[in-house]
């Protein structure tokens, strides 16, 4: 741990949130300059022990919003943790998200003496059991594995002082509600509870009534709104031309430095990854059928820039935190409109901007309509590609109010010969990019009140 005097002068913009110096120091080292809006609005309440209902998408800095107050509490309220005991518990829907949250705690808490563990399914539990045996200050877990180990008495939750439910809407979608209820019933009700969700459907509001006590409500984006720094476009294309269009986009637009491509199925993800690799576009696939180590390896290659494209299904990619994703490409539109919001939130993270392209075939027009209703605006149509299917574009959806047509030449082309289409496209100075400038987190408001279990 650093001596306080050596870090007294660090200016991070976080001092106004009353965070202790070792935490400010870690933020300074991470080059965080200002708190993001969710951090600015939530942290002052959380350090006072209030419950919180946070409506925020990933990419807004919500992990630090809950991690920093927890670390601060652990440091200020030091007490020995009992064997198999847990002082703070963070529940997350997927292994990837759990690992990322664990990593964030490690980074933000690097100048503190914090014992932490991350547990998730799909791997043998022996190492996790060993990590839990002496007790931990911070436990990040997926609900299924946590409940298994709880039932096996490998851990105790009777001393948990803070509980976080992260991506609660996703956990509900994945059927974790019964597990969450059992876990919560094993934790003292005097705990501090934080619930974060990208959207606030009625089930989440109900959940918050049951699990939170007089919560502060913080919304950094209206429910289901899309991050406004993302430029969104839809490209109408016949189903049989989709993979050609994807290949064309990735080959022609060099500004696509790091692209996340979403498919609906695992099989589809594998097929696309194989096809792109064949044409020398470095690609990995990530989905629930891959082993844990294969998933982490694929992520690492994507994160480090060794592969340019990561093809993913929804389940594998919720909450993925990879910096510098320039483009999200929906190879297939999601059936659930809310998934669209989650998907495109992988770009434009922490104040930068990004581009989201959605390839829409005739069968997906109804999904597009649902998405546009959800985000309350119509997507711009991009016709400036050689596979534009005018017949799909002109089929009515009923919500198109302001869909400006980008770069339109006004001609409908329908399905055409692929090589002619590609040749024409190559002559059009084709680009899905725009000038990119780094954004800055902005300030919000704050308030206080007191409560915490010890």
Name the residues that contact ligand AMP, by CB under 6 A.
32, 35-36, 39, 58-64, 321, 323, 349-350, 441
Smallest gap from Cβ 15 to ligand AMP, in A, equals 13
Alpha helices for 36-151 (secondary structure H): 37-46, 62-76, 95-108, 126-133, 143-151
C-beta closer to ligand AMP: residue 161 or 441: 441
Cβ count near 412 (within 10 Å): 13
Which neighbouring-strand residues pair with 405? 381
Q: Compare residues 123 and 350 and give the one whose CB is closer to ligand AMP.
A: 350
Shortest Å distance, C-beta 31 to ligand AMP? 7
Residue 334: CB atoms within 10 A of its CB come to 22
HEC states along 120-175? CCCCCCHHHHHHHHCCEEEEEECHHHHHHHHHCCCCCCCCCCEEEECCHHHHHHCC
| Closest CB 96 distance from ligand AMP, rounded Å | 11
By C-beta, is 38 or 74 nearer to ligand AMP?
38
Q: What are 285's strand-pairing partners?
A: 311
Shortest Å, Cβ 163 to ligand AMP: 18
Dihedral sign (CA 395, 401, 407, 410): positive
User: Which lies closer to ligand AMP via its Cβ, residue 36 or residue 326?
Assistant: 36
The least CB distance from residue 64 to ligand AMP, in Å, is 5
Residue closer to ligand AMP, measured from CB, 245 or 325: 325
Minimum Å gap between C-beta 105 and ligand AMP is: 12
For residues 32 and 387, which CB has a smaller minimum distance to ligand AMP in the complex? 32
Rounded to whole angstroms, the Cα distance separating 309 from 432 reads 16
In the complex with ligand AMP, the residue whose CB is nearer, 174 or 350, is: 350
Label residue 192 exposed, middle or buried (CB < 10 Å: 0-12, 13-18, 19+).
buried
Nearest approach in angstroms of CB 59 to ligand AMP is 5
Q: Backbone phi, then psi, for 230, in 5-degree steps?
A: -100, 125
In angstroms, rounded to a whole number, what is the distance separating the alpha carbons of residues 191 and 215? 12
């Amino acid at each position: 741990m650093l001596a306080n005097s050596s870090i007294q002068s660090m200016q991070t913009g976080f001092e106004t949130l009353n965070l202790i110096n070792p935490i400010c120091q870690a933020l300074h080292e991470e080059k965080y300059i200002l708190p993001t809006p969710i951090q600015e609005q939530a942290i002052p309440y959380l350090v006072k022990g209030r419950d919180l209902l946070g409506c925020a998408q990933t990419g807004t800095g919500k992990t630090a919003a809950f991690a920093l107050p927890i670390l601060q509490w652990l440091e200020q309220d030091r007490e020995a943790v009992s064997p198999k005991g847990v002082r703070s518990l963070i529940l997350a829907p997927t292994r990837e998200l759990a690992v990322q949250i664990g990593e964030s705690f490690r980074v933000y808490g690097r100048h503190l003496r914090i014992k932490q563990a991350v547990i998730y399914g799909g791997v043998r539990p022996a190492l996790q059991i060993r990590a839990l045996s002496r007790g931990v200050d911070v436990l990040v877990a997926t609900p299924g594995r946590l409940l298994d180990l709880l039932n096996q008495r490998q851990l105790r939750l009777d001393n948990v002082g803070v509980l976080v439910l992260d991506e609660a809407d996703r956990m509900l979608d994945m059927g974790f509600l019964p597990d969450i209820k059992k876990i919560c019933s094993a934790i003292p009700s005097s705990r501090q509870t934080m619930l974060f969700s990208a959207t606030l459907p009625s089930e989440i509001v109900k959940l918050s009534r049951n699990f939170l006590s007089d919560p502060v409500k913080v919304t950094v984006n209206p429910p289901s709104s899309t991050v406004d720094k993302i430029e969104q476009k839809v490209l109408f294309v016949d189903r049989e031309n989709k993979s050609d269009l994807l290949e064309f986009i990735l080959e022609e637009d060099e500004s696509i430095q790091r692209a996340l491509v979403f498919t609906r199925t695992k099989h589809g993800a594998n097929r696309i990854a194989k096809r792109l690799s064949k044409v020398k576009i470095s690609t990995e696939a990530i989905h629930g059928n891959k082993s844990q180590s294969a998933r982490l390896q694929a992520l690492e290659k994507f994160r480090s820039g060794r592969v340019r494209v990561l093809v993913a299904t929804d389940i594998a990619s919720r909450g993925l935190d990879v910096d510098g994703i320039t483009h999200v490409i929906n190879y297939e539109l999601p059936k659930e409109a809310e998934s669209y919001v989650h998907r495109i939130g992988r770009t434009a993270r922490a104040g930068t901007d990004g581009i989201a392209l959605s390839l829409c075939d005739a069968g997906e027009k109804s999904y597009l309509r649902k998405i546009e209703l959800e985000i309350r605006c119509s997507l711009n149509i991009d016709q400036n590609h050689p596979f534009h299917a005018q017949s799909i574009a002109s089929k009515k959806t009923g919500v198109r109010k302001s869909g400006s047509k980008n770069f339109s030449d006004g001609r409908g082309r329908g399905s055409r010969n692929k090589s002619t289409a590609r040749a024409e496209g190559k002559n059009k100075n084709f680009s899905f990019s725009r000038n990119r400038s780094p954004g800055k987190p902005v300030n919000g408001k704050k308030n206080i009140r007191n409560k915490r279990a010890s």
